[in-house]
Chain A
Amino acid sequence: MRLGAFPFPAKVPLCPSVAIADTSPGPDKTKVRDNQHPQRNFTRNQSQTHPLAIGPNPKICQLMDPTSQSPPTKKRKMASSTTTTSTTTAAVEQEHQFPLPPILTHPSSTPPILITQGAEGRLYKTTFLSPSIPCALKYRPPKPYRHPILDARLTKARLAFEAKVLERCRREGVPVPAVYAQNAAAGWIAVEWIEGAPVRVKINEWLGSRPKNEEEEREGANKDQGPLVELMRRIGSAIAGLHRTGVVHGDLTTSNMMLRPPKASSSEQTNGVTEEGEKAKLLEGEVVIIDFGLANQSQSDEDRATDLYVLERAFASTHPRAENLFEHLLESYKETFGKKGVSVLNKLEDVRMRGRKRSMIG
């Protein structure tokens, strides 16, 4: 009844308090991903098959029936993970290809490739104007869960902001992708394609190639971590440059930074790095900050500190083994930003404290 009040583009039938089964993932995802753009395959691949559940597990439905307000009866059995999966594998595997945004349905020299299904939208690799200009086209499809009015408002505002912020950075000389074209109302923006791999991938490659002895790493031997420390410093100074232009990113993670290889070596060559001598080059390149979907214009210490705090936590959860190197990033941020940097870092202390305080209420 309450849904009838406004039309949602897609209503998803969801039995209250129900677990819709997730089924086996089908083809080996890792392999498929490797065939694709190897630098940016961090979430999804192009021809992902989406297992679609046909319906809720009746057993769990019964167990979860919200109408039964009474305490569970004696010795009621709960479904353990094994029983759940075994009873819900009757799901239909279906080829699930996202419909292309209208702009990409028109002819192009090569078909658009879906690179990721990010949180805000889908990222396609395609071409801009001519076959020789690769571009990243970000499409924010309508969100079926969001009220249509709210959805349209957010999509348009965010795309417009993203475009403006990118242009501003570009004019100020902060390395970000150039804006090629946009249609905020239609939900897309096309920007320069940045060669290279996300910093996240590079750091993990680097960490993965090192001994996994946590103790040993914590003890120090920072000499080994030289290139990573150097990268942390470059990230810090890139963020300082960004903040100096009056922009806060709003979603700083190591996935939202690309490591663009030096011009001399093409991306094709760096992909094939396996030899020892090449390992040193793993973390080389210019840090290019991408995905300004949540960016804002702000000069306040508070917003800047929050930007760093978001990254600090994302970094700690994504690269727990390199957490101790984050200070190098902050140090270089401060050096690049000067006096302002000092006050931002002081504010960061406050923001952190608030973060810890937050956990006090249960």
Chain B
Amino acid sequence: MPDAKGRRIALGCEGSANKLGIGIIAHDPLTGEAIVLSNVRDTFVSPPGTGFLPKDTARHHRAYFVRVAKKALAASGVSIDEIDCICYTKGPGMGGPLTSVAVGARTLALLWGKELVGVNHCVGHIEMGRAITGASNPVVLYVSGGNTQVIAYAEQRYRIFGETLDIAVGNCLDRFARTLEISNDPAPGYNIEQLAKQGGRVLLDLPYAVKGMDCSFSGILGRADDLAAQMKAGEPGPDGEPFTPADLCFSLQETVFAMLVEITERAMAHVGSNQVLIVGGVGCNERLQEMMGAMAAERGGSVYATDERFCIDNGIMIAHAGLLAYETGFRTPLEESTCTQRFRTDEVFVKWRD
């Protein structure tokens, strides 16, 4: 039921990867505004040189769910009665962590007598990005540890125009961070970005793999790993001079981001749009935003990006996208409140857009 001010309120739970996030959002039907009431996150950080395993991540989410939920509720200032629905990430993502959070969401729904709304993680990113930036109908570049997609809206669906043909760009960066044994705190990608700022003396030659609006990163990672091995063995670079981890990070970023900007530009040309929205964890990267901005400006358009609070997986985006669906009458009955590792962006019927 709407609160005293006539607003709809949703609580969203996200845990498809190593971030556990719970957020509370309000939609004001009069102004059309979406208001973030709280957005709390706790990240499972694994030691340098390692990735996060589903089992450990799921354990983390189970252990922190109640703590994070309480914190989000307290920060929002709303009472349990005012909440209309509980939204959770149905997928895609890692099975264990997804399930842990789904169980948490079901518990809250049963405990408080609320209805459930299962949300597609990617659609959550897109809708939050649109709401935050005001981009009305952008081409969306969704880049994270698990996904690399170029998406545009058409006829009630977010359609995937291009995507990675193998690993996600974030996965490529994360794994290279492991190769270099860079810290995973706060995030491997962030640390690569900082290191890359010190590089740039040379641009090391890496494969450039774009096929239409699709791209591929595994070959690049393989080559970067080889170069890292050469560097550790003390071998010089192509110009005969030694190169550093910073040069490697710089070259990797320049290459993979150029590919991402290129496929985005191709999609923009294809659909005739000049707005681009970057979402997902890798979207925090300022170099990527800068390159995208240069491309968009040349096309007479604009780039829209958000910061780490909304780019990186969070609960508020699940609450927001869930509430949009809820307002169109969408519900997820308890017996259907499962989650799924595979859940393509274009499977969601987007009833809330024209």
Residue positions of A touching B, CB distance < 8 A: 1-2, 5-6, 8, 10-12, 14, 16-22, 42-43, 48, 50-53, 60, 63-66, 69, 71-72, 74-85, 96, 116-120, 143-147, 149-150, 154, 250-253, 255, 294, 306, 310, 313-314, 316-318, 320, 354-362
Contact = CB atoms under 8 A, between A and B. Distances in A.
Interface-centre pick from B145, B171, B295 (highest chain A CB count, 10 A) = B295
Contact of A14 (B76, B154, B272, B290): B290
B58 to A, nearest CB: 13
B34 interface: yes
Contact of A118 (B38, B163, B199, B269): B269
Interface string B266-299: 1111101011000000001011011111111111
B295 A145 contact: yes
Given A72-B36, A74-B75, A253 B302 contact: no
Contacts of A310: 211-214
Given A150-B208, A362-B94, A320 B33 contact: no
B154 A320 contact: yes
B307 A362 contact: no
A72 B160 CA distance: 31
Contacts of B214: 306, 310
Contacts, number: 244
Interface-centre pick from A1, A64, A65, A294 (highest chain B CB count, 10 A) = A64
A71 B298 contact: no
Contacts of B39: 71-72
Contact of A5 (B75, B201, B304): B201
Contacts of B131: 78, 80-81
B16 interface: yes
Given A19-B305, A310-B213, A12 B132 contact: no
Contacts of B289: 14, 16-17
Contact of A362 (B41, B121, B164, B309): B121
B307 A66 contact: yes
A74 B77 contact: yes
8 contacts: A2-B200, A65-B307, A74-B76, A120-B266, A310-B211, A314-B161, A317-B159, A317-B160
Contact of B35 (A6, A78, A294): A78
Interface stretch (B59-67, B85-93, B326-334): B85-93
Given A75-B36, A361-B145, 15 more contacts: A6-B200, A8-B294, A17-B307, A20-B303, A22-B274, A52-B297, A64-B305, A76-B36, A80-B134, A145-B290, A250-B211, A251-B211, A320-B159, A362-B98, A362-B144
A51 B76 CA distance: 39
B134 A83 contact: yes
